[in-house]
Amino acid sequence: MTRPRSSTLQSSILDEARRVLVAEGYSHLSMRRIAAAVGCTATSIYLYYRNKDALIHALIDEGMELLQEQLERSALPADEPLERMRALCRAYLEFGLENPEYYEVMFMLHPERMDRYPAEKYRRARRNLEIFSETLGAIHSGDAAERPDLKVLTTVLWFSLHGAVTLMNARRIDVSIDRKELLDQAVSHSLQIAARPSPSQMTSSPIQ
Amino acid sequence: MTRPRSSTLQSSILDEARRVLVAEGYSHLSMRRIAAAVGCTATSIYLYYRNKDALIHALIDEGMELLQEQLERSALPADEPLERMRALCRAYLEFGLENPEYYEVMFMLHPERMDRYPAEKYRRARRNLEIFSETLGAIHSGDAAERPDLKVLTTVLWFSLHGAVTLMNARRIDVSIDRKELLDQAVSHSLQIAARPSPSQMTSSPIQ
Amino acid sequence: MTRPRSSTLQSSILDEARRVLVAEGYSHLSMRRIAAAVGCTATSIYLYYRNKDALIHALIDEGMELLQEQLERSALPADEPLERMRALCRAYLEFGLENPEYYEVMFMLHPERMDRYPAEKYRRARRNLEIFSETLGAIHSGDAAERPDLKVLTTVLWFSLHGAVTLMNARRIDVSIDRKELLDQAVSHSLQIAARPSPSQMTSSPIQ
Amino acid sequence: MTRPRSSTLQSSILDEARRVLVAEGYSHLSMRRIAAAVGCTATSIYLYYRNKDALIHALIDEGMELLQEQLERSALPADEPLERMRALCRAYLEFGLENPEYYEVMFMLHPERMDRYPAEKYRRARRNLEIFSETLGAIHSGDAAERPDLKVLTTVLWFSLHGAVTLMNARRIDVSIDRKELLDQAVSHSLQIAARPSPSQMTSSPIQ
DNA sequence: CATGAATGAGCTTTCATTCAT
DNA sequence: CATGAATGAAAGCTCATTCAT
């Protein structure tokens, strides 16, 4: 009556799309299947999303926002940059491991495979990296001259986290390995980005 | 009469499957297309591979072997463990970046999504990790007591490399970042695994 | 309040339908597309046109009127019947060649394939033929007794012109043929209708 | 038993395609409909025709061949060129009027709307025009110097015939007109191509 | 006068797979 | 050892149209 239902179908569609995606993966996500599950015709989906890509973009968007929230929430209690960074890493891993298919659409889809990719959608994605960048910058604040580019460092940090999430989600990890310790070590290793000596030193004598 | 020509078709199929995979990507890898390219009918493929999954498993197998060869070849000239490790990291990245589709099938396919998955297939995959493990073990040879489990360390190292390969292949990296420097830094960061202090120290004061 | 603005949408729809037709062809003429272009919903079109056929009939009507105008305008300066006829032929060809999609809808649609076809719609179409008829009649004014039926002659003339328009628009003409000369000859041949000897002579000795 | 049936499905498909085409027109010709009518799945059609275009091309081809046969058969008994020409015109009209949809696919489809048009298919189409050309050439044999290009004359002749076929098939002809006389006059007019004076004369004094 | 929501039928095409031979 | 024939399911998408408001 107070029309909380006028947007129902649209959100049901997104809900169901997310569900199918999470449960069965990207390749099983079809318009028809969503429609069947949500109780409308495939055609109706097109009333709300111009095409399948648009629907997926909405999902990605949603995921990026969710991740951003989780990252920001996790970083709040930490007042020291390094602690903040550790919290961020943990939050990122958590998000990726708890929302594996979400994560997959967000970070594993190859853009060249999406016909129409709205560049604008990447902005929100970058925002998440910037959260890491800023914290990393705070840690390294003193020695701007000698450290490698902040963008590069952030990306390398991202590599670690992303590798952890995707390999674990793809069940590529030996089951005999203790999951908790693995995650701890992954975080520790990631944090070493923050402790890296300058690249010149690195090259000459990487270990000590 | 008893010439091994009968095995020709089987190997042609695998060759062609690999070619299609590398050239056009996993999503274009269909039985029909392989058959057309190899000059037989789609039906014939089923003489040698129970189904598409089986064929893909064979491809994965082959890819793992190829990667293993490349890793071993790259490590040969290095007689110092750390140099060896650096060579291994570089070789891994190179393989992943030069064979993106191959790499994807090898490491990004979710086993639970393939029907009838023979767990046995992963054995060869693990061999590749062992190459890293052994080198890592050699570096850490002295302090077995205090360092974290070798398997764990190797896996964390793998995270870094895998993250680098997949994010770069998925074109998720800011184009303004210099590719070469990024790779150098990724390798450097990965090598820090070999330089890690003991975990207890890590936890208390990760930097210093 | 009583301003004729209410007729605006109706005419916009027709305008847009014509534009889409001319620019993109009959096969792209869909209710949705028209609605999108005109800035209303597809549903609104049904307020003014019972269905797609009705809309198309309106278009045909309009096209017939347009053709009529062009024919009449072209014939104005000619005071001699034969010159008038030549002008009419040229104008007809011009119209057909310059508005291929329009022409197609006007003259190539099969009425039996349109549901609910209002035969009355053809009246305006016939007016265009009458323009030719009248001129033809003026040329032949003397020998009413022996010439074939004027309607028949006009139709045969129409055959020539229509054949020229449609084959050229369908790109069925050998590209090595000079377009201008072809048109000249087509007009010349059409004009021979006006110069035809009586049918009896025709049959006995068509040439000489 | 003597396997006259091995090619049955293929020919049934073509038969049905032709039937649908003739009965309901090009726009109603769908793979599904053909499959349903012929009793197989839509997929099976693709065993014999690579896609819808290929199927249509087969139809066109068939039609062109049929027309050629009819033209040649009709011309046989005539030993005088002009009589031969008259027979050809009549045969062409007959073919077009008796196989309206066939004719439509053959001559009214716009090639630019067919994605993949095999240029080779046009060869057979041209052969049919050449039959006219040759006969026209025989009539005009003496005065090669002054007559317009033979190709042009043939095309203009074709205009007349094509216009007659298409307008009649599209039911655009006033029902009060006697069909037989109309056809006679159309043939007569077409034959005037063979009797045309040189273009220069035409222009100076078209009627006498 | 106009809309928003929804439908159902339809489209071409691709796919992995099976079965009789 | 290999094929040719055929299937059934599924895909993304567009269409004209309706109905309640």
Q: Is D152 on the interface with C (CB under 8 A)?
A: yes
- Of residues A194 and D131, the one with the higher pLDDT is D131
- Give the pLDDT confidence score for residue C194 in this predicted structure: 81
Q: Is D166 on the interface with C (CB under 8 A)?
A: yes
Q: For residues A200 and A206, give the distance between their C-alpha atoms in angstroms, rounded to a whole number.
A: 9
C182 → closest Cβ in D152, D164, D207 = D152
Claim to verify: residue B26 and residue B91 sit in the same structural domain: no
CA distance to partner chain A, nearest, from residue B190 (Å): 9
Q: Tokens at residue B105, please?
A: 């099938």
Q: For residues B157 and B189, give the distance between their C-alpha atoms in angstroms, rounded to a whole number.
A: 9
C158 → closest Cβ in D111, D148, D167 = D167
- Whether residue C202 lies inside any domain: the answer is no
Q: Tokens at residue C133, please?
A: 């008829």
Kindly state the average pLDDT of the residues A71-99.
94
CB-based contacts of D38: which residues, under 8 Å, 6+ apart? D9, D12, D13, D15, D16
Name the DSSP letter for residue B148.
P
Q: Tokens at residue D88, please?
A: 């050809």
H helices, E strands: number in chain A: 10, 0
What is the number of other CB atoms lying within 10 angstroms of the CB of residue B199?
A: 18
Q: For residues C40 and C50, give the distance between their C-alpha atoms in angstroms, rounded to a whole number.
A: 16
Q: For residues D154 and D151, give the distance between their C-alpha atoms in angstroms, rounded to a whole number.
A: 5
Q: What is the domain count for chain A? A: 2
- Give the pLDDT confidence score for residue D143 in this predicted structure: 58
Nearest chain C residue to D195 by CA distance is C207
- Of residues B138 and A24, the one with the higher pLDDT is B138
To the nearest whole number, what is the mean pLDDT of chain A?
83
Q: Which CATH number fits the domain that encloses residue A111? A: 1.10.357.10
Q: Is B143 on the interface with A (CB under 8 A)?
A: no
Percent of chain C surpassing pLDDT 70: 81
CA distance to partner chain A, nearest, from residue B3 (Å): 40
- Whether residue C204 lies inside any domain: the answer is no
Q: Is the pLDDT of residue A156 over 50?
A: yes
* Closest among D20, D163, D170, D28 to C111, alpha carbons compared: D170
Claim to verify: residue C94 and residue C9 sit in the same structural domain: no
- Whether residue C64 lies inside any domain: the answer is yes
Q: Is D143 on the interface with C (CB under 8 A)?
A: no
* Closest among A90, A208, A179 to B196, alpha carbons compared: A208
- Of residues D79 and C144, the one with the higher pLDDT is D79
- Whether residue A54 lies inside any domain: the answer is no
Q: For residues A43 and A57, give the distance between their C-alpha atoms in angstroms, rounded to a whole number.
A: 18
Q: For residues C196 and D90, give the distance between their C-alpha atoms in angstroms, rounded to a whole number.
A: 20
- Give the pLDDT confidence score for residue B196 in this predicted structure: 58
CA B183 → C1' E19, Å?
53
- Whether residue C41 lies inside any domain: the answer is yes
To the nearest whole number, what is the mean pLDDT of chain B?
84
Taking contacts as CB-CB distances below 8 angstroms, the residues of chain B near A166 are: 108, 162-163, 166
Which nucleotides of strand F lie within 7 A of protein CB?
Answer: 1-20
- Give the pLDDT confidence score for residue C110 in this predicted structure: 73
Q: For residues A203 and A146, give the distance between their C-alpha atoms in angstroms, rounded to a whole number.
A: 13
Chain B 16-45, residues with CB within 8 Å of chain A CB atoms = 25, 27
Claim to verify: residue A92 and residue A161 sit in the same structural domain: yes
- Whether residue B146 lies inside any domain: the answer is yes
- Give the pLDDT confidence score for residue A198 in this predicted structure: 43
For residue A68, with 0-12 CB atoms within 10 Å meaning exposed, 13-18 middle and 19 or more buried, which class applies? middle
Q: For residues C21 and A154, give the distance between their C-alpha atoms in angstroms, rounded to a whole number.
A: 54
Kindly state the average pLDDT of the residues C86-103.
95
CA distance to partner chain B, nearest, from residue A91 (Å): 17
pLDDT band at B89 (very low <50, low <70, confident <90, very high): very high
State how far the alpha carbon of C182 is from the alpha carbons of B5, C174, C186, C191, C192, in Å.
64, 11, 6, 14, 15
Q: For residues A90 and A72, give the distance between their C-alpha atoms in angstroms, rounded to a whole number.
A: 12
Question: pLDDT digits over A110-138, tens only?
Answer: 766 555 566 666 778 889 999 999 999 99
Which nucleotides of strand E lie within 7 A of protein CB?
Answer: 1-20
- Give the pLDDT confidence score for residue B125 in this predicted structure: 81
Claim to verify: residue B112 and residue B31 sit in the same structural domain: no
**pLDDT values of chain D reduced to their tens digit, one per residue, 208 residues:** 333 334 588 888 998 998 887 777 777 889 999 998 888 999 999 999 999 988 988 988 889 999 999 999 999 988 899 999 999 999 999 999 998 888 988 888 776 655 555 666 677 888 999 999 999 999 876 655 556 789 999 999 999 999 999 999 988 898 899 999 999 999 999 999 987 554 444 443 333 3
* Rounded CA Rg of chain A: 20
- Whether residue C206 lies inside any domain: the answer is no
Claim to verify: residue A189 and residue A110 sit in the same structural domain: yes
- Of residues D116 and A193, the one with the higher pLDDT is A193
Claim to verify: residue A43 and residue A113 sit in the same structural domain: no
| C contact chains, 3+ CB pairs < 8 A | D
Claim to verify: residue D13 and residue D65 sit in the same structural domain: no
- Give the pLDDT confidence score for residue B22 in this predicted structure: 84
Q: Is the pLDDT of residue C157 over 50?
A: yes
Q: Tokens at residue C80, please?
A: 């001699």
pLDDT band at A142 (very low <50, low <70, confident <90, very high): low
Claim to verify: residue B108 and residue B14 sit in the same structural domain: no
CB A40 within 8 A of CB A31: no
Claim to verify: residue C5 and residue C73 sit in the same structural domain: no
* Closest among C102, C187, C192, C162 to D164, alpha carbons compared: C162
> Which protein residue lies nearest to nucleotide F7, measured between its Cα and the C1' atom?
D41
Q: For residues D160 and D163, give the distance between their C-alpha atoms in angstroms, rounded to a whole number.
A: 5
Q: For residues B17 and B31, give the distance between their C-alpha atoms in angstroms, rounded to a whole number.
A: 9
- Give the pLDDT confidence score for residue B2 in this predicted structure: 36
* Closest among B67, B100, B93 to B158, alpha carbons compared: B93
CA D32 → C1' E21, Å?
29
Q: For residues A32 and A29, give the distance between their C-alpha atoms in angstroms, rounded to a whole number.
A: 9
Q: Is the pLDDT of residue C135 over 90?
A: yes
Phi, then psi, of B118 in degrees rounded to 5: -85, 105
- Give the pLDDT confidence score for residue B147 in this predicted structure: 64
What ranges in C25-111 are assigned the alpha helix state H?
A: 31-38, 42-48, 52-75, 81-98, 100-107
| A contact chains, 3+ CB pairs < 8 A | B
* Closest among A129, A66, A155, A71 to A102, alpha carbons compared: A66
Q: Is the pLDDT of residue C8 over 60?
A: yes
Q: Which CATH number fits the domain that encloses residue A7? A: 1.10.10
Residue B138's region, left for phi above 0, alpha for psi from -120 to 50, else beta, is: alpha
Taking contacts as CB-CB distances below 8 angstroms, the residues of chain A near B195 are: 206-208
B/e letters for B42-53, b = 16+ CB within 10 Å, e = fewer, are: eeebeeebeebb
Q: Is C163 on the interface with D (CB under 8 A)?
A: yes
Claim to verify: residue D161 and residue D77 sit in the same structural domain: yes
pLDDT band at C97 (very low <50, low <70, confident <90, very high): very high
- Give the pLDDT confidence score for residue D32 in this predicted structure: 92
Taking contacts as CB-CB distances below 8 angstroms, the residues of chain D near C96 are: none
B206 → closest Cβ in A152, A164, A191 = A191
- For residue B172, the enclosing domain spans 58-200
Q: Is the pLDDT of residue C18 over 60?
A: yes
- Give the pLDDT confidence score for residue C125 in this predicted structure: 82
Say whether A32 sits in a helix, a strand or coil: helix
- Whether residue A148 lies inside any domain: the answer is yes
Q: Is C202 on the interface with D (CB under 8 A)?
A: yes
- Give the pLDDT confidence score for residue A160 in this predicted structure: 98
Claim to verify: residue C170 and residue C75 sit in the same structural domain: yes
Long-range contacts of D37-43 (CB under 8 A, 24+ apart): D38/D9, D38/D12, D38/D13, D39/D12, D40/D9, D40/D13
- Give the pLDDT confidence score for residue C124 in this predicted structure: 77
Percent of chain B surpassing pLDDT 70: 81
Percent of chain A surpassing pLDDT 90: 49
Phi, then psi, of A99 in degrees rounded to 5: -130, 65
Q: Looking at B7-16, C65-74, D159-168, which range is the least confident one?
A: B7-16
Q: For residues D83 and C207, give the distance between their C-alpha atoms in angstroms, rounded to a whole number.
A: 12
CA distance to partner chain C, nearest, from residue D155 (Å): 8
User: Which protein residues have Cβ within 7 A of any strand E atom?
Assistant: A 6, 9, 39-44, 47; B 28-33, 42-43, 46, 51-53; C 6, 9, 40-44, 46-47; D 28-33, 42-43, 46, 51-53
* Cβ separation D188–C196 shorter than 8 A: yes
What is the number of other CB atoms lying within 10 angstroms of the CB of residue C201?
A: 12
Kindly state the average pLDDT of the residues C102-116.
75
Q: Is C142 on the interface with D (CB under 8 A)?
A: no
Q: Is B176 on the interface with A (CB under 8 A)?
A: yes
Claim to verify: residue C43 and residue C135 sit in the same structural domain: no
Question: pLDDT digits over B20-49, tens only?
Answer: 888 888 888 999 999 988 889 999 999 999
- Give the pLDDT confidence score for residue C119 in this predicted structure: 61
Question: pLDDT digits over B155-198, tens only?
Answer: 999 999 999 999 999 888 999 999 999 999 999 999 999 875 54
State how far the alpha carbon of A10 is from the alpha carbons of A18, C70, C88, in Å.
13, 52, 58
Q: Which residue has the tokens 């031969």?
A: D84
**Domain end (from D49, D69, D85):** D49
* Cβ separation A160–B189 shorter than 8 A: yes
